[in-house]
Amino acid sequence: MNAKQQRLYINIDHVATLRQARRGAEPDPVDAAIACEAAGADGITAHLREDRRHIQDA
């Protein structure tokens, strides 16, 4: 039997949603993504909305 190895991709959308709800700079989605990759995640997923609702320009 030839089993495929599972991969773990982390969705960080809720990190941005939480930051927006708090109306602040934290939690930082980039910091969350870095922590996930350091913990062994294979990749990061983020769904960018056309209306840029959860995007904060630096």
Give the model confidence (pLDDT) of 15-58 as tens digits.
988 988 898 889 999 999 999 999 999 999 988 777 766 566 66
The pLDDT of residue 10: 95
How many Å apart are CA 35 and CA 15, to the nearest integer?
Answer: 12
Report which residue type is found at 30: V
The pLDDT of residue 7: 94
What pTM does this model have?
Answer: 0.74
Q: How many CB atoms lie within 10 A of CB 18?
A: 15
Q: Where are the domains of the chain?
A: 9-45
Judge whether residue 1 has pLDDT over 90: no
Closest CA to 12 of 42, 49, 47: 47
